[in-house]
Structure 1
Amino acid sequence: MSPFVAEFIGTMMLILFGNGVVANVVLARTKGNDSGWIVIAAGWGIAVFIGAFCANDFSGAHINPAVTVAMLIAGKLSIGMAIPYFAAQMLGAIAGAALVYLFYREHFKVTEDADGKLACFCTSPNIRNLPQAFLCEAVGTFALILPIFLMITPSLTHGDAAVDTDPVLGLGTLGFLPVGMLVFGIGLSLGGTTGYAINPARDLGPRLVHALLPIPGKRDSDWSYAWVPVVAPLVGGSLAAIVYLMIA
Structure 2
Amino acid sequence: MMTQALGEFIGTLVLVLLGDGVVAGVSLARSKAKDAGWIAIALGWGLAVTLGVYSAGYLGPAHLNPAVTVAFAVIGVFPWSGVVPFIVAQMLGAFLGAALVWLQYYPHWAETKDEAAILGTFATGPAIRRPLANFFSEALGTLVLVFMLLAFTKGKWTDGLNPIGVGALITAIGFSLGGTTGYAINPARDLGPRLAHAVLPIAGKGDSDWGYAWIPVVGPLVGGAIGALLFTLI
Interval of TM-score (by shorter of Structure 1 and Structure 2): over 0.9
Any idea what SS the aligned residue of 2:86 has? helix
In 2, the alpha carbon distance for the partners of 1:171 and 1:67 equals 23
Any idea what SS the aligned residue of 1:2 has? helix
Any idea what SS the aligned residue of 1:31 has? coil
In 1, the alpha carbon distance for the partners of 2:70 and 2:80 equals 9
Structure 1 equivalent of residue 232 of structure 2:
245
Cα distance change on mapping 1:194 and 1:171 into 2, 3 Å: farther
Structure 2 equivalent of residue 34 of structure 1:
35
Structure 1 equivalent of residue 56 of structure 2:
55
* Structure 1 residue 30: Cα displacement: 0.7
In 1, the alpha carbon distance for the partners of 2:162 and 2:6 equals 21
1:109-148 alignment runs, 5 A limit: 109-148=110-149
* Structure 1 residue 154: Cα displacement: 6.9
**Could you list the runs of 4 or more consecutive aligned residues of structure 1 that deviate by over 4 angstroms after TM superposition?**
none
**Is contact 1:56-1:173 (8 Å) kept?**
no
Any idea what SS the aligned residue of 1:28 has? coil
Any idea what SS the aligned residue of 2:116 has? helix
* Structure 1 residue 88: Cα displacement: 0.3
In 1, the alpha carbon distance for the partners of 2:109 and 2:87 equals 30
The TM-score, its normalising length taken from structure 1, stands at 0.91
Structure 1 equivalent of residue 17 of structure 2:
16
Q: Considering only aligned residues, what root-mean-square deviation do their CA atoms show, in Å?
A: 1.5
Structure 1 equivalent of residue 194 of structure 2:
207
Deviations 1:53-109 (A, max 9, x none): 011121111000011011101211111111100000000000000000000010111
Structure 1 equivalent of residue 218 of structure 2:
231
Structure 1 equivalent of residue 69 of structure 2:
68
In 2, the alpha carbon distance for the partners of 1:2 and 1:171 equals 25
Deviations 1:15-72 (A, max 9, x none): 0000000000000111100010000000000000000001112111100001101110
Cα distance change on mapping 1:174 and 1:76 into 2, 3 Å: same
Total equivalences in the alignment: 233
Deviations 1:112-140 (A, max 9, x none): 11100000000000100010000000000
Any idea what SS the aligned residue of 1:29 has? coil
What letter matches 1:74 in structure 2? I
What letter matches 1:230 in structure 2? V
Structure 2 equivalent of residue 44 of structure 1:
45
What letter matches 2:114 in structure 1? D
* Structure 1 residue 172: Cα displacement: 4.7
Identity of aligned residues (%): 52
- Corresponding position: 1:177 with 2:168: no
What letter matches 1:227 in structure 2? W
Cα distance change on mapping 1:154 and 1:44 into 2, 3 Å: closer
Cα distance change on mapping 1:113 and 1:152 into 2, 3 Å: same
Cα distance change on mapping 1:144 and 1:88 into 2, 3 Å: same
Any idea what SS the aligned residue of 2:59 has? helix
1:146-157 alignment runs, 5 A limit: 146-153=147-154
**Is contact 1:23-1:104 (8 Å) kept?**
yes
**Structure 2, gaps ≥5 residues long:** none
Any idea what SS the aligned residue of 1:225 has? coil
